[in-house]
Amino acid sequence: MSGLVWVLRFALAAVLIFAGAVKLRDPTAFAGEIANYHLAEGLAPYLAVALPPIELILGLSLVLAPLAWRRAAALATFGLMAIFTIAVTQVVARGIDVSCGCFGGDSGPVTWWTVARDLVLVGIAAVLYAYETGLERRLAPRPPPPGSSAPR
């Protein structure tokens, strides 16, 4: 089980690190892509600046950080991927072509397969979080044995 979890952890971390690194190369283009989602155009430049390093830090934390921080990274990744999935789903549902931000685009780069891929990543993050939570509880110091207490 722990072997499988490590595989999932490395896979998710690799996706995050790769995605973050690619987006970091051209933040202006990334800001344009975010604006093309027509969801929070005003936040596009701020998200473009913040998201790539966030992905990098989460990816590295998933594999390198101590248990408590790995668990937090899994939780943050779960939340992030859930938001990405919602954003991508609304793009596909509204028929937006994100390569130009145009509505009514026939087949842009974002499709239902993108939604499915993001759902898988959400699932992996959820599994990691659950596993780390269980592990943390098992490793937590046991409470001291109860002292003598008067029975009721």
3-class secondary structure, 41: helix
Stretch that binds another protein, among 81-89, 101-109, 118-126, 142-150 (CB under 8 A): 101-109
Calculate the alpha carbon distances from 59 to 16, 87, 110 in Å: 5, 21, 23
Closer CB to another protein, residue 61 or residue 114?
61
Under rule CB under 8 A, residue 18 binds another protein:
no
Q: Which of 101, 114, 115, 128 binds another protein (CB under 8 A)?
A: 101
Closer CB to another protein, residue 89 or residue 133?
133
Under rule CB under 8 A, residue 51 binds another protein:
yes
Under rule CB under 8 A, residue 55 binds another protein:
yes
- Cβ atoms of 71 and 85 within 8 Å: the answer is no
Cα 129 to Cα 46: distance, rounded to the nearest angstrom = 27
Closer CB to another protein, residue 7 or residue 50?
50
Under rule CB under 8 A, residue 41 binds another protein:
yes
Stretch that binds another protein, among 6-14, 41-49, 114-122, 139-147 (CB under 8 A): 41-49
Residue 39 φ then ψ, to 5°: -115, -45
Stretch that binds another protein, among 4-12, 49-57, 86-94, 114-122 (CB under 8 A): 49-57
Under rule CB under 8 A, residue 24 binds another protein:
yes
Q: What is the largest CA-CA distance in the chain?
A: 75
Cα 112 to Cα 40: distance, rounded to the nearest angstrom = 21
Name 96's bridge partners: 103
